[in-house]
A and B are shown apart, each in its own frame.
Chain A
Amino acid sequence: MTPQVRYADVEVGTELPAQTFPIERADLVMYAGASGDFNVIHWNERVATSVGLPDVIAHGMFTMAQAGRVITDWVGDPGAVLEYGVRFTRPVVVPDDGRGALLAVSGVVTAKGDDNVVVVELTARSGEAKVLAKSRARVRLG
């Protein structure tokens, strides 16, 4: 089981362990199947480029799910997440070049509230692009 972080051990400014997630086309195909989101721009380069995208892009919800792992890996219990929201600012472009994309996610505690609730803000980048904004969760710690 992943370690449980405790409210008393956390301060505003406490950083969550950062993670980098590799994303390949096969991941997007798996996510399409599991989520039911079969939008063609997430697996077909011909269609993606025809609508003005640089290449196939990851599902926004896939990116949000990856970023959320930084929080749930930190708290251990996924049920500790009370609220989680993001704005999708830039797409994660996933080329079919044997390497794919990298999503780098970091997080920091920005507020401590009542009832052991803390606010965590995430930063998510792929290459130079900041792919999420307003990426924030409220989490109840032990």
Chain B
Amino acid sequence: MPLDPSFIGKVYPPTEPYEVGREKIREFAEAIGDTNPAYRDRSVAQALGHPDVVAPPTFPIVLSSRAAAQVVLDPQLGLDYTRVVHGEQHFRYSRPVRAGDVLTVTVIVDDIRSAAGNDIITTRGEISTVSGEHVVTALSTLVARAPAPVGA
């Protein structure tokens, strides 16, 4: 059954504050095999004009996907999570995430549509500091694949 388009525009409550730690940034950088010293060495980051080590550009997914789980798992929306694949991802940065940031995510349902039997939902995570400074917007498009025909 197609998803209810009346969910478009729905705003979910902001997430609990997430404090970005230097060691978490280092762990993430190591997991993606990225040796850039701006992720590890505060003096290198400062020489580039940042107050502390910065996080890799895709790091905000750690916060935004957790926040988007509110939508994905919303029983009223009824998305079949077992059929969900990641279709698109987009980040728009006001500045890089950095160590010491205390961030919260507000998730908005930007779009719901249907194509070839697939349900397609785009969520927008507005990631800001707890004092209200915008840091990054994360747009995620998730595709719930159409169930396979019986017997297929």
- Show the binding face of A for B, using Cβ within 8 Å: 1-2, 21, 27, 30-31, 33-37, 51-52, 60-62, 64-66, 68-69, 71-73, 76-79, 81-88, 134
Chain A residues positioned under 8 Å from B62 (CB to CB)? 34-36
Q: How far, in angstroms, from A72 to B37 measured CA to CA in the complex?
A: 11
Chain A residues positioned under 8 Å from B55 (CB to CB)? 78
| Chain A proximity of B144: nearest CB distance (Å) | 13
Q: How far, in angstroms, from A83 to B96 measured CA to CA in the complex?
A: 11
| Chain A proximity of B19: nearest CB distance (Å) | 15
| Chain A proximity of B52: nearest CB distance (Å) | 12
Q: Which of B82-90, B107-115, B124-132 contacts A (4 or more CB under 8 A)?
A: B82-90
Indicate if B49 sits at the interface (CB-CB under 8 A): yes
Chain B residues positioned under 8 Å from A21 (CB to CB)? 33
- Show the binding face of B for A, using Cβ within 8 Å: 27-28, 30-34, 36-39, 44, 47-50, 54-58, 61-62, 65-66, 82, 85-93, 95-96, 139, 148
Closest to A28 in B: B31
A35 touches B61 (CB 8 A): yes
A77 touches B48 (CB 8 A): yes
| Chain B proximity of A27: nearest CB distance (Å) | 7
Q: How far, in angstroms, from A88 to B143 measured CA to CA in the complex?
A: 11
| Chain A proximity of B70: nearest CB distance (Å) | 15
| Chain B proximity of A91: nearest CB distance (Å) | 8
Chain A residues positioned under 8 Å from B56 (CB to CB)? 65, 68, 72, 78
B89 touches A60 (CB 8 A): yes
Chain B residues positioned under 8 Å from A82 (CB to CB)? 92-93
Chain B residues positioned under 8 Å from A86 (CB to CB)? 88-90
B57 touches A78 (CB 8 A): yes
Closest to B44 in A: A1
| Chain B proximity of A56: nearest CB distance (Å) | 14
* Known A31-B32, A36-B62, A78-B54; contact A1-B88, beta-carbon cutoff 8 A: no
B33 touches A27 (CB 8 A): yes
Q: How far, in angstroms, from A60 to B93 measured CA to CA in the complex?
A: 20
Q: How far, in angstroms, from A82 to B54 measured CA to CA in the complex?
A: 14
Chain B residues positioned under 8 Å from A31 (CB to CB)? 31-32
Chain B residues positioned under 8 Å from A27 (CB to CB)? 31, 33
| Chain A proximity of B100: nearest CB distance (Å) | 15
B89 touches A61 (CB 8 A): yes
Q: Which of A52, A68, A88 contacts B58 (CB 8 A)?
A: A68
Chain B residues positioned under 8 Å from A66 (CB to CB)? 32-33
A88 touches B85 (CB 8 A): yes
Q: How far, in angstroms, from A51 to B91 measured CA to CA in the complex?
A: 29
B87 touches A88 (CB 8 A): yes
Q: How far, in angstroms, from A48 to B84 measured CA to CA in the complex?
A: 13
| Chain B proximity of A78: nearest CB distance (Å) | 5
